[in-house]
Structure 1
């Protein structure tokens, strides 16, 4: 029997990872720019697929299905935009699900648990092994998204511009980033995807995490994430799993903060791809 070939996409606001899977084996991975139907039009998404995906998968002419998981794919009308954009160039069955469902399937498989995303944005849910049964709305980086890269960046530039960090550290920030107050305001308030810009400042925090002001900024944001989101689920009976670049690179601090809340952390991974390959290989 010939192994079924499928395409699994992990779409975020910053980048999208496309994985070609034959049977239960990953045979290729392709990166394109972020795809988010909440912020992008159908024409913009179609152009990204046409220009940066299709030319690189033409050699795989036996793709039988696409599973697209992405930020902004939590509403039927948005999912339909994504589905049409893909099927226009790749006429096969396309299932579109949220990045949160991807996290739950990748982290928990077919077992119940609490699945969390800490990347450019943040999110969380209670998963029963099949479906998401409870989700505290993340509300985005303006109203919520506690612990995310965008919010960490927002807190950082807010503290820099309001002189809440030591002067020497503020000077280091401007020197390393090449930013000015005017450029920051332009990027946040006038240019598209301010969440991407803010999240791009996370490496500065990581480089200077030994500074008490930086450590406190990060750990307090993680406390807000656990207190305002995770603690609303049944944490006593379920492990808490985390996925995303922020979860991966800041996992030492996350573990310390989780202990303060009495939470039992499970898996922490940077990407859902391997977990999704396992999940879809047993369907």
Structure 2
């Protein structure tokens, strides 16, 4: 019995796999060791994951998560999972989850465009080049968090069209003071910022919005993709932002001569295939 979990900053998807079959499937809030201590992660798992997950004997846990890039951060997740399940745990980054799901054991350029963003060159076994994403303050170009940040900044500086700003304030029942509180004083500001990417998606026919999204994606290509050998390999994308803004993503990619391959919302089905196929190969 295997437990596979994939966590972005917003949500965590969990599946229990027996042989090649998924027998349990659930979602909880996102788990990120950069923003949560071990106790908070353990509490979230215990309280939000259905009891059925704790009643099975698990032989191996594979956890992929945002913020799981260093050994120190991986250990926070690992110790939390061992405490809950008493099973061996392998913790890897959400970026490795994306490329394992997208490429399997093939070579290519893999990207995440979700709450945050990331990119890498994957040789079919491991990530051999990674332009640091730097997070939503210094980087994360192309992400939902940065898209939301750009939009809210424009609203509060009176750069965004007033009708859009007014509709946003009314829809979310929020004020500029509330926004400052959420961004600078509340936990998970990146989740909060990414929420507004959904509002923008509903207004893609507005020239201001389409231009804002295009500029966000251009920044992602300029500051990330162009640093790889992108002309010789397919570029695959994972994440809700990539999926929902696929038309604009293709348009911007064409500006840079980048050929896009797959665009998937979630890596979980690919991860299940990867780990079950690995069993058969072994």
TM-score normalised by L of structure 2: 0.96
Query: Could you report, residue by residue, the CA deviation over 1:129-153 in whole angstroms, capped at 9, with x for unpaired residues?
Result: 0000000000000000001010000
2: distance between equivalents of 1:75 and 1:275?
A: 24
Residues 54 and 89 in structure 1, CA contact (< 8 A), matched pair in contact too: no
Quote the residue 1:149 is aligned against: 144
Equivalent of 1:266, from 261, 264, 270?
261
Task: Say whether residues 1:78 and 2:62 are aligned partners.
Answer: no
Q: CA deviation at 1:58?
A: 2.9
Residues 116 and 124 in structure 1, CA contact (< 8 A), matched pair in contact too: yes
Query: What SS is found at the alignment partner of 1:89?
Result: helix
2: distance between equivalents of 1:250 and 1:141?
A: 19
2: distance between equivalents of 1:37 and 1:174?
A: 31
Quote the residue 2:2 is aligned against: 6
Query: What SS is found at the alignment partner of 1:88?
Result: helix
Query: Could you report, residue by residue, the CA deviation over 1:118-175 in whole angstroms, capped at 9, with x for unpaired residues?
Result: 0000000000000000000000000000010100000000010111122222222212
Equivalent of 1:23, from 19, 24, 32?
19
Residues 147 and 222 in structure 1, CA contact (< 8 A), matched pair in contact too: yes
After TM superposition, the structure 1 stretch with the greater mean CA deviation from structure 2, 107-116 or 14-23, is: 14-23
Task: Say whether residues 1:229 and 2:224 are aligned partners.
Answer: yes
Equivalent of 1:279, from 238, 254, 274?
274
Residues 35 and 187 in structure 2, CA contact (< 8 A), matched pair in contact too: no
2: distance between equivalents of 1:63 and 1:17?
A: 17
Task: Say whether residues 1:51 and 2:39 are aligned partners.
Answer: no
After TM superposition, the structure 1 stretch with the greater mean CA deviation from structure 2, 182-191 or 50-59, is: 50-59
Q: How many equivalent pairs are there?
A: 278
Task: Say whether residues 1:187 and 2:178 are aligned partners.
Answer: no
Quote the residue 1:212 is aligned against: 207
Q: CA deviation at 1:13?
A: 1.3
Q: CA deviation at 1:46?
A: 1.1
2: distance between equivalents of 1:234 and 1:211?
A: 35
Residues 26 and 50 in structure 2, CA contact (< 8 A), matched pair in contact too: no
CA RMSD of the aligned region, Å? 1.0
Unaligned runs of 5+ in 1: none
Change (3 A) 1:49 1:168: closer
Moved over 3 A (4+): none
2: distance between equivalents of 1:88 and 1:242?
A: 34
Query: Could you report, residue by residue, the CA deviation over 1:206-258 in whole angstroms, capped at 9, with x for unpaired residues?
Result: 01111111110011000100110011111111100000110110011001111
Quote the residue 1:92 is aligned against: 87
Unaligned runs of 5+ in 2: none
Quote the residue 1:200 is aligned against: 195
Task: Say whether residues 1:244 and 2:244 are aligned partners.
Answer: no
2: distance between equivalents of 1:91 and 1:99?
A: 23
2: distance between equivalents of 1:14 and 1:188?
A: 15
2: distance between equivalents of 1:173 and 1:57?
A: 39
Q: CA deviation at 1:177?
A: 2.0
Query: What SS is found at the alignment partner of 1:201?
Result: helix
Quote the residue 1:162 is aligned against: 157
1: distance between equivalents of 2:124 and 2:192?
A: 35
